[in-house]
Amino acid sequence: MGRHMEISILAAAVFMTAALSCTDGKEQTGVNDDERSITVQERVEIDYAGGAFSIDVEANFDFQVESQSEWIELDKIEGTKVWFMAQANEGTADRMGKVKFTDPASKYFYKETRVSQKGNKTPVEVTSSLSLADKNATAETKALYANLWNIAAKGFMFGHHDDLWYGRYWYNQAGKSDTKAVCGDYPAVFSVDMGPIMDNRYNDAENAIRRRVIIEAYDRGEVITMCCHLNNPHTGGDSWDNSSNEVVRSILTEGHATRTKYLEWLDRCADFANNLKGSDGKLIPIIFRPYHEHTQTWSWWSSKCTTEEEFISFWRFTVEYLRDTKGVRNFIYAISPQMDEDYKGGAKDRLTFRWPGDEYVDFIGMDCYHYSWKQAFKSNLDAMSELSLEKSKPCGVTETGPEGFDWTDYWTNHILESALNQRVSMIVMWRNKYVGSNESDRHFYSVYPGHPSEDDFREMYDHPSTFFSKDLPDMYTMPEGYEVK
């Protein structure tokens, strides 16, 4: 499906072979491979209104022109200028396209031009009055929420799960980060797992590391999000133990032993949150993301193991217990269905699958493991951006990445190009497992030193629409003109 989409785009762009004139005015054909020469502009910037633009090309052989972006179409060739027509950019964010000049006899001999188009900066009427599930949330939590909403109008924050306490070739070395090792900056969003802090792993030594790096990230001004790979409180198995459909039902049953155990786990969650403070002495706000990927069947809280009524009741029970009984005041509650396919107009329905109610959800997330299916990613970003505006709730990609990928242009061609013109506050990559010297273990989802996409990642880092740690505004101070109830 992904390959079919790429071919369609190229075909729509009109393949064309052209012979350009050299300085002697003679048409050059039949040039030996070792004599081929082509020079093109590396970058072109155009206005949001689109229209005609040209790229200067000088070559001594007949070449093909391939537009690799559906909003750019080949128009004509005049001398050393290749003319294109660009569609108007209706979004507020800048977007980037690519044009390729290729030797038809050898697809590996080519040059590329990056085309950057400005966004339409005409103000869009977007609310500045937001609402949290917790009306008594801390000032810093409310400020973070407003900033999540605000930053999406300018671009997206890059995030990475467990980035600050291990990487592909290192473990628990203070200050290290696979992301920082490549681009010189930390991710804007640090994702980490709350599950081991809550369940029967609560005494694990790694939990002290989790706490330390969360505080370090907050002190630098970064954003923290926490998922929950919770063990199964009913069977004693792990998160992936979906052997029983009695787990959530038991938790919701007064007096049941599983409920008693689970309340202890929620107590640990609350104790962690209520004592998690930065060097400024203030509680650290957390985007709390329990029961993720509930659309799937792999977990004990999944669509396989619960009814719609049970899941909604379970979500509300969790929010009410943490907020009302335990007094947690620094949580932003995020839901995150898994969105791996092109749902052909049904994406919003999937994003709101078993929706607990607007008053119980603060942040709309989605976990996207679509591998190379770019159209699926783009269509789901479109739907999530629309839903975010409809519900006045910030949104973001809470997990993504192709496991073990080796594509050199993944960051600009797949992530950046798909995210431009969206209203998405973050895109968070899944983890790079620590493997030491075991190169056969390819459980990684993001860049690291030595990965073939390093240069492309740095190009994405330099783009004005991406936010890393150093780019962030003060995420914990209320932006001017905003209100969070």
**What residues contact 61, with CB distance under 8 A and at least 6 apart?**
28, 29, 31, 36, 37, 38, 103
Q: Is the pLDDT of residue 12 over 80?
A: no
Nearest to 49 by CA among 121, 98, 123: 121
pLDDT confidence bin for 416, thresholds 50/70/90: very high
Q: Is the pLDDT of residue 378 over 60?
A: yes
Q: Is the pLDDT of residue 468 over 70?
A: yes
Query: What's the CATH fold of domain 129-484?
Result: TIM Barrel (3.20.20)
Strand (E) or helix (H) holding 166: none
Across the range 22-35, mean pLDDT stands at 44
Q: Is the pLDDT of residue 100 over 70?
A: yes
Query: What's the CATH fold of domain 2-117?
Result: Immunoglobulin-like (2.60.40)
The rounded distance, in Å, linking the Cα atoms of 403 and 312 is 31
pLDDT confidence bin for 48, thresholds 50/70/90: confident
Nearest to 229 by CA among 200, 263, 264, 267: 200
- Under DSSP, the state recorded for 260 is H
Q: Where in the chain is the domain with CATH 3.20.20.80?
A: 129-484
Q: Where in the chain is the domain with CATH 2.60.40.10?
A: 2-117
Q: Is the pLDDT of residue 388 over 80?
A: yes
Which of 110-114, 218-222, 357-361 shows the lowest per-residue confidence on average (mean pLDDT)? 110-114
302-347 pLDDT per residue, tens: 999 999 999 999 999 999 999 999 999 999 999 999 999 999 889 9
Decide: residue 171, CB within 10 A, 0-12 exposed, 13-18 middle, 19+ buried.
Answer: exposed
Farthest-apart Cα atoms in the chain, separation: 92
